[in-house]
Amino acid sequence: MCGVFGVFGDEAAAELTYLGLYALQHRGQESAGMAVTDGRRIRIHKGMGLVSRVFGEGELGSLKGHAAIGHVRYSTTGAAHVANAQPLLSLSAHGQIALAHNGNLTNTHLLRAELFGTGSVFQTTTDSEVILHLIARAASRSLEEAVVEATAKLSGAYALVVMTNEKLIGLRDPLGIRPLAIGRRGKTWLLASESCAFDVVGGELVRDVMPGEMVVIDRDGLRSCRFAAGSREAFCVFEYIYFARSDSVIDGRTVHEVRKQIGREL
């Protein structure tokens, strides 16, 4: 399961992320976290438990910035431990990078063994940290190129939000297994696992991120590119019948409408 949220272009980014994660709480209750940038430094806070427990007024007050990403976790790969809470934050040739991941990779063990063989050191047992290492290894490329190069090695499900001090990136795997949507709140851009997170912050759904699509948001706005073409789409049916909230809109239809149609077919 897990839920991810991102915001770019609002000085109340931490508060918006808190509300967005609260709306996505049904996707994961094990841990919660957020990373916030003021353009110079990324600050991070995360902990075990529900969003309301991890973040109080003191924590939110210390997270100042115009952009943020957040995560609520339901563990699939990696133990239930605060070290595995997300977002993950690292320092690389691209500067500070924060990453939050919804999904489950199927080639984690192979990639981890390859990275161990080249001297990589891991701080967690999650498959998400593998993605962060792969991005950091492409040091000679731009951040967008590094992200695309990293995803070429991944198999399985991933909806990612990646943030530096200058930009916010969102992408989905070529099969579109996990959901990710784009929203707007005035001039502020939003990313979330489900559109219900946009509703709670006063935003509106723009569209879904397409399978194999990467969107990059910075001070010049939003731009998009297709980094991979899937042979087919394989959206997870459990999103409609179990994971997603009934009022969320996925692929132009509310989850409630799809559930009713599934009932009619049965």
Give the residues across from 194 on adjacent strands.
Answer: none
Rounded to whole angstroms, the Cα distance separating 165 from 41 reads: 6
Rounded to whole angstroms, the Cα distance separating 13 from 228 reads: 30
Q: In what order do the strands lie in the sheet with 204-208?
A: 42-48, 31-37, 67-73, 3-8, 188-192, 181-185, 204-208
Instruction: For tokens 């839920």, name the residue.
Output: 3
Rounded to whole angstroms, the Cα distance separating 183 from 199 reads: 9
Rounded to whole angstroms, the Cα distance separating 113 from 174 reads: 24
Specify whether the CB–CB gap between 27 and 2 falls below 8 A. yes
Among 240, 241, 211, which Cα is nearest to 224's? Answer: 211
Burial class of residue 238, CB neighbours in 10 A (0-12, 13-18, 19+)? exposed
For residue 5, the SS3 value is strand
Catalytic residues: 2
